[in-house]
Structure 1
Amino acid sequence: MQSAGPLLHSGFRASVRHVPENTALSLRGRTWTYRDLDGIARRWAAALARHTPRPKRVAVLGHRSVVTYAGFLAGLYAGATVVPLNKKYPAARNRELLERAGIEVVLADAGSVKQLGALLDGLAGAPAVVLPDTDEVPAGFPVGARVLTRADVETCVPLAEPVEVAPEDGAYLLFTSGTTGRPKGVQISHANAASFLAANTERYGFAADDRFTNTFDQTFDLSVFDLFMSWGSGGCLVPMDAFDLMKPLDFVRDNGITVWFSVPSVAVLQHRKGVLVPDSLPSLRWSLFCGEALPAATAQVWQEAASGSVLENLYGPTEATIACLVHRWDPETSPASVVNGVVPIGSPYPGMAAAVLDEDGSPVPDGDTGELCVSGRQVFEGYLDAPEQTAEAFRTGSPSSGPDRRWYRTGDLVRRTDSGEYGYVGRLDTQVKILGHRIETGEVEAHLLRQERVEQAVVLAVPGEEEGVTVLTGVLAGAGLDVHDVDEELRRTLPPYMIPLTYHLLDVFPLNDNGKVDRKALRLRVVSGELEPVLL
């Protein structure tokens, strides 16, 4: 049945109708057409509903496999909210996300099955499991687990049509770092996502001959751009794995990539290596960056390497659906708008509004620094089962002429330039971006402080060895603590990007005038080298 409005997967469905034999996915030498992926998603959607008719939330666990791509579509086809999990995460974190999200069915690839048994063991109300590329139930699965293997899935009659949903229903649910030590659940509706996709479709005019990278894990919302902008245009998605990101320029050239999208760190590293030679990326039509600050020097060099492409810096928190501001780099005019060596984050998307507010919610004059707040069709409704956090994340008011709006507080400090665009200055709180991932250092500290011998813990963002790269470092205090043990325990509970690169031991933490730990003083001692790291 036809749904009432555009959905996250509406563009894919249109491509199935218009270009069914175009290649939709090229993965490690194998290709799938739009007709192929549509057929797989229909069958798997039927399997997802075998034990739980119309599941509310479906988790997809895997990495760079057809299961992770067709599985996302299958979850949407089943009428569910898709919750990506990451096989690289510690089992404890994935287990927490399963419980928090109330997952009813897990769709997993063969490479993730080993972790899945441990996730389900002892879990109250354990979800059903669909293993579409696994031939038998692996040893170690909990007794009584409801499991469909490849043979079971093949007996499922594919759905004739995707389940009808409303635009206000959830399309996907992601968990971001939280200050309390618990991840925050961000559910994005189909209406939120459709607004984002429509703005980008209008802006970029992607075509069926475009070939898109996929540099992001699906637990990172920027991946939604890769999948659904590619599939909405009838183009081909060409995912990159970790080894491809070591030599991304070769990947672009070898695969005829026309649309590049990544965090700036990838480009910064190539700039540092000196391999961004002018006109060395002739196939690119679009060079897009998002997820962290983009150094102007790197933008300039990348633009010279991909001289036939348009380079843009996108900005947006997960809560505002992937990106909601954008700046188009112009080698002639953009340098004048650079703030602290960083490319501007630009102007709001259609349907979105931005304001720079003071601590009391009043607008700051142009040119002054304040917190960026955004409002509009792409902004989510609120955090999963967290009304207090939701209330703290929003302001209601009218910073300029016009009706009151509900403003999401991004926590980013910006200033409005003479051109009317916004320049990024820094963070309002201790939240930082590491390789594009948003991290609350307070969450890492909370996990450190749970360890028996850790009496004090401060996690800081400091410059890495590569220019423009930020890393985490931990400063610890505690009698008899073993840093190696602390690090190992942390790795059992947090994803790799949240683990400090270095640790420092200190008997007494410096305090500021308010009696709080003086983070600025600690950071200075770390950056200056006064506090030497502990060798692991």
Structure 2
Amino acid sequence: MPIAADPAPRPLDHLALMGARAAPALVDRAGIIDHAMLDRLVGALGGALLAQGLVPGDRVASWLPKQRLACLMPLAAARAGLVHVPVNPLLKHPQVAHILADSGAGLLITGRGRAETLEQGDLPASCALLIEEEAGAALLGGAEILPPSAANPDDLVAILYTSGSTGRPKGVMLSHANLWLGAVSVAHYLALEPDDRTLALLPLSFDYGQNQLLSTWAAGGCVHPLDYLTPRDVVRAVGRYGITTLAGVPPLWIQLAECDWPAEGVASLRRLTNTGGRMSVPLVRRLRALFPQARLFSMYGLTEAFRSTYLDPALIDAHPDSIGRAIPFADILVVRSDGTVAADGEPGELVHAGPLVAQGYWRDADRTGLRFRPAPAASRFGGIAVWSGDTVVRDAAGLLRFVGRDDEMIKSSGNRISPTEIEEAAVASGAAAEAVALGVPHERLGQAILLYARPIGDDAEQRLADWFRRNLPGFMQPARILWRDDLPRNANGKLDRAALRAEALAGEGSEP
């Protein structure tokens, strides 16, 4: 039977106790571990982390691919009373340096290759470094095995870094209760069962990427982590392991829909889940035709509240552009600018209240106050809510439809990208005096990055390209750079983003 929507949160590491002891919990290149071994390894890794000199409340960062140690870190840090800071393995050293300094991490665990990319000053003096190839076996084989923790579910257990519309990535503070209830909620509405096998494709530094692990283990199922190079790798893995659950972002679904799927791959899939952007109606139609037996879940969420809505798969054929209704434990309202609830058919801001709401941004009271504010009077939970800045419309049946974003965030390939971070990198290169980054519509990516820049020197184009290649991950690389001797300004003397956006959408900068 699917897991019940139990509202009582527990310490996060108790998820290691949810499955039948002899049932498989994780299958990776190192072999198979069952749920009994999962619990033992979580306890051993937790003890080994404390043996590094860390104390409860300290932050421990992991910058790793989806191997065994990375998969166990969320639960092991929780068992040890530490705060886990997972770092996207695609990030380059400037972003990692910011995360380490901002979080105050006392330990970074990463591979030798990534460690060698760190430059002088990237690793704070207070942050120790462990190389996974050298220390991984010892960390998982420690003699001191911690028992399940007795942590307060409201205690901080993780900081997930996400880009904002201005400035560098900010750390979203998540409690045991946030992650526990998120796992139980998803496991419940996806109807996950102990015999389910999840192919974990999304980065474990993403909220839903980490939830692939947590929700599957909450249901007693098995996770198959995969770092893939091509969509064909995904197709082969689905068939090889009899995968039942597959999560992706729209650009990946576009690629998978274009693949030649063998019958055994199609037959095993029970559910497909989408996050990180809205699927186009044609894409929904293609996936429904390709996987007629699989339930297709369209979902909406934000890291500050994990997940907000999902659409019942039974409704997706009739409502392919809907993001559905609130998930379990979420209170979702569509609110006017005066804080009252919008009428059916009237656009308003999506506001999320309830126990999935995060604890704010790490050491950033100003930005916390802007996004985390008292819930509207109509909220059944009250307390602090997340005001998303996204505009939605609710229809007479209670289904929500996404309209647009009020901020300047760029959404590309499922990644939320700060335009300011790209602009700062362009100026730091010495090749651009000023820069403006915009997201423009792109069929495959959702949005592509278009950069307007004012050059410095005759070789600015090559210098900027080289700088971006060395300092920004692939998903933050502009698809096109338009050079201007002068950039437009508004009446306040600031760069006129609105004018550049209008120019881009008029055709010059679209679909780069």
How does the TM-score come out when normalised to structure 2? Answer: 0.89
Q: Could you tell me which residue of structure 2 aligns to residue 7 of structure 1? A: 11
2:106 is the alignment partner of 1:101: no
User: Residue 260 of structure 1 is aligned with which of 231, 246, 266?
Assistant: 246
Partner amino acid for 2:100? Answer: L
Q: Could you tell me which residue of structure 2 aligns to residue 389 of structure 1? A: 367
Q: Could you tell me which residue of structure 2 aligns to residue 283 of structure 1? A: 268
2:290 is the alignment partner of 1:305: yes
Aligned partners of 1:33, 1:447: CA distance in 2, in Å?
45
Partner amino acid for 1:418? Answer: A
Q: Secondary structure at the match of 1:182?
A: coil
Partner amino acid for 1:86? Answer: N
Partner amino acid for 1:214? Answer: A
User: After alignment, is 372-381 or 65-74 more displaced?
Assistant: 65-74
Q: Could you tell me which residue of structure 2 aligns to residue 327 of structure 1? A: 311
1:250-283 deviations in whole A, cap 9, x for unaligned?
3322221101111122112333x37479997121
Aligned partners of 1:289, 1:124: CA distance in 2, in Å?
40
Q: Could you tell me which residue of structure 2 aligns to residue 22 of structure 1? A: 23
Could you tell me how far 1:457 is from its partner in structure 2? 1.2
Could you tell me how far 1:492 is from its partner in structure 2? 4.0
1:280-316 deviations in whole A, cap 9, x for unaligned?
7121111111111121221222122222221111111
Whether the 8 Å contact between 2:64 and 2:111 is mirrored in structure 1 is yes
Aligned partners of 1:106, 1:223: CA distance in 2, in Å?
20
Q: Could you tell me which residue of structure 1 aligns to residue 454 of structure 2? A: 477
Whether the 8 Å contact between 1:510 and 1:521 is mirrored in structure 2 is yes
Superposed, 1:23-422 pairs within 5 Å as 23-28=24-29, 30-55=31-56, 56-109=58-111, 112-115=114-117, 118=119, 123-127=124-128, 129-131=129-131, 133-134=133-134, 149=135, 153=139, 156-271=142-257, 273=258, 275=260, 281-321=266-306, 323-330=307-314, 333-334=315-316, 336-338=318-320, 343-400=321-378, 404-422=382-400
1:105-127 deviations in whole A, cap 9, x for unaligned?
233345544346x4777632233
Partner amino acid for 1:224? Answer: Q
Q: Could you tell me which residue of structure 1 aligns to residue 3 of structure 2? A: none
Q: Could you tell me which residue of structure 1 aligns to residue 421 of structure 2? A: 443
Aligned partners of 2:23, 2:132: CA distance in 1, in Å?
24
Whether the 8 Å contact between 2:325 and 2:400 is mirrored in structure 1 is yes
Q: Secondary structure at the match of 1:51?
A: coil
Partner amino acid for 1:10? Answer: H
How does the TM-score come out when normalised to structure 1? Answer: 0.85
| Closer, same or farther: CA 506–277 of 1 in aligned 2, 3 Å | farther
| Closer, same or farther: CA 311–336 of 1 in aligned 2, 3 Å | closer
> Aligned-pair RMSD on alpha carbons?
3.0
| Closer, same or farther: CA 361–444 of 1 in aligned 2, 3 Å | farther
Aligned partners of 1:173, 1:251: CA distance in 2, in Å?
31
Identity percentage over the alignment? 27
1:26-59 deviations in whole A, cap 9, x for unaligned?
2247322333333333222222111325342111
Partner amino acid for 1:374? Answer: H
1:164-202 deviations in whole A, cap 9, x for unaligned?
321011221111113442211101101111222222233
Query: How many residues align structurally?
Result: 503
| Closer, same or farther: CA 225–474 of 1 in aligned 2, 3 Å | same
Partner amino acid for 1:290? Answer: T
Partner amino acid for 1:12? Answer: A
Partner amino acid for 1:188? Answer: L
Q: Secondary structure at the match of 1:442?
A: helix
Whether the 8 Å contact between 2:448 and 2:511 is mirrored in structure 1 is no
Aligned partners of 2:503, 2:353: CA distance in 1, in Å?
39
Aligned partners of 1:236, 1:423: CA distance in 2, in Å?
33
Unaligned runs of 5+ in 2: 1-7
Aligned partners of 2:444, 2:106: CA distance in 1, in Å?
44
Q: Secondary structure at the match of 2:235?
A: helix
Could you tell me how far 1:363 is from its partner in structure 2? 3.2
Whether the 8 Å contact between 1:170 and 1:190 is mirrored in structure 2 is yes
Unaligned runs of 5+ in 1: 135-148
Q: Secondary structure at the match of 1:242?
A: coil
Aligned partners of 1:155, 1:419: CA distance in 2, in Å?
54
2:410 is the alignment partner of 1:432: yes
Aligned partners of 1:337, 1:252: CA distance in 2, in Å?
28
Partner amino acid for 1:449? Answer: V
Partner amino acid for 1:245? Answer: P
